Amino acid sequence: MVTPTPEPVPAAERPWPPPALRVRPFRWYWAAQWPTLLGTWMQVVALGYLVYQRTGSTTAVAAVAAADGIRSVIRSLAGGVLADRLPRRRILLVTQSLLGLSAGSLAILVATNHASFVAILVVAIVFGATDAADLPTRQALVADLVERHLVVNAVALGAAAMSATRIVGPSVAGLLIGLAGPAVCFGFLAVAYLAPIVVLLTVIPDVAPLPRQAGATAWGELTTGLRVAAADPLVRGVVIVASVLAFCGVSYMPFLPVLAKTQLHVGPAALGVMYSVGGIGGLVGGLAIASLGRGAGRLQLMLVGGVVYAASLFTVAHGAVLWVTLPALVGISFAFVAVSTSMTTLLQTDTDPALRGRLLGIYATIFAGLQPLGTVAYGVMAHSVGLFNAIGVGALLVGATTVIVVVTPSFRARVSGLSLGRAGPAPAPDTLA
């Protein structure tokens, strides 16, 4: 049942270090993610290099990426259901172990020269299927480790870690591939998974899932999550913004090489910088939001982030000089962290805790499924209206959709005044002032 949550007066707190890091289990959990995030970015580079080196085919590279991504689309919903039915710590012990073993298997296959295309494809499928259960569970666990008013801070810290490793990981992978080959990158990721496994075993508490209705089936629980996503104004608004952001916004990224060649007239070195600055913007955004502590209003983050994202992507789509494009790319990644942090936090703090895993699974499925479809749509529209004209229109749609959702009275009411179920103290009501 939905009930108003009284707002205690928060005590003044220092903005740094971020308050979520003062919670011991989360601090260890967050620190343990760094080596695996770094290794994941290294694996992305090494896997593409390995497949192309062995096959000489861009189609084969795409097939391996699809084998990972398609399974994630199919299984993220199931992973969300699993995160609500079983203790999340135990799920992560299994998934993190399987991910480490997958990376280790690929390292051994490559090092012994037994990594055929079929073997690589199988490992990619296993890795993607496991990650589909791992991702919504990891996201849902955050709200188990910190109080409700610290979730936005904790999510922002996670985004900062992802962005920081995005800056460093590809460069380290390129260096290691040149010195010792791609097997070292896969081996690093395999060993890196020992860090979160040790933390899960020694620090993270085993929080039991909330009780389920008698006779409830996994399919029934999944359909319940989908019904809530359609009926709850808050979840429906998040789903709408996430869908438009994934389909019209994030899907521009594969076309950066086209932008570099046809509009900016720059070479590979500048293209590499264009990819890297995104990590800088995300890192700055994550640290900035984390430093706000309790003061990071979720409506403000979503509104400002959506508008900045739209303006920055429109600038990139119509940019003709590199010195304008690079700051705009920083703006895109900064704004994406703001929007995604606000949406993830809303799903973790302002919805029924018994549905948290399923709703985060839906959220993950949206990005895994609609982003590649948006890229295909832009490619098709390139022949009629022009690629970057289409992306410019997509940018405007992202901004307009975000503003419309945020100012919708039912959405604002759900964010500002109501909370659900088992949660810590509520934050101060969000306003647009």
Whether 370 is covered by a domain: the verdict is yes
The DSSP code for 62 is H
**% of the chain exceeding 70 in pLDDT:** 79
pLDDT at residue 115 greater than cutoff 80: yes
Whether 6 is covered by a domain: the verdict is no
Residue 259: predicted pLDDT? 83
- 75, 130: one domain: yes
pLDDT tens sequence across 327-341? 999 999 889 988 988
- 188, 293: one domain: no
Distance separating alpha carbons of residues 354 and 84, to the nearest angstrom: 6
The total number of structural domains in the chain stands at 2
At residue 414's C-alpha, the angle toward residues 8 and 25, to 5°, is 55
User: If you average pLDDT over residues 266-279, what whole number do you get?
Assistant: 74
Cis amide prior to 17 (ω within 30 degrees): yes
Q: Which residue has the higher pLDDT, 419 or 61?
A: 61
- 130, 232: one domain: no
The domain boundary, picked from 207, 236, 267, lies at 207
- 255, 151: one domain: no
Among 17, 19, 16, which Cα is nearest to 427's? 19
Whether 9 is covered by a domain: the verdict is no
CATH of the domain at 254: 1.20.1250.20
pLDDT tens sequence across 2-22? 444 444 444 555 556 778 888
**Could you give the 3-state DSSP secondary structure of residue 419?**
strand
- 377, 243: one domain: yes
Structure-token pair, residue 82:
């699993």
Whether 2 is covered by a domain: the verdict is no
Whether 256 is covered by a domain: the verdict is yes
- 203, 238: one domain: no
- 203, 302: one domain: no
- 408, 339: one domain: yes
**Could you give the 3-state DSSP secondary structure of residue 3?**
strand
- 294, 341: one domain: yes
pLDDT tens sequence across 170-204? 778 878 888 888 899 999 999 999 999 999 999 98
The domain boundary, picked from 147, 181, 207, lies at 207
Domain range holding 243?
225-433
Whether 175 is covered by a domain: the verdict is yes
**Could you give the 3-state DSSP secondary structure of residue 145?**
helix
Distance separating alpha carbons of residues 286 and 302, to the nearest angstrom: 14
Distance separating alpha carbons of residues 169 and 283, to the nearest angstrom: 14
Structure-token pair, residue 395:
């940018």
**% of the chain exceeding 90 in pLDDT:** 26
- 203, 313: one domain: no
- 166, 303: one domain: no
pLDDT tens sequence across 203-258? 988 776 655 555 556 566 667 777 877 878 898 999 999 999 989 998 887 777 77
Structure-token pair, residue 29:
């959990």
Structure-token pair, residue 67:
């084998």
Whether 128 is covered by a domain: the verdict is yes
At residue 123's C-alpha, the angle toward residues 120 and 129, to 5°, is 140
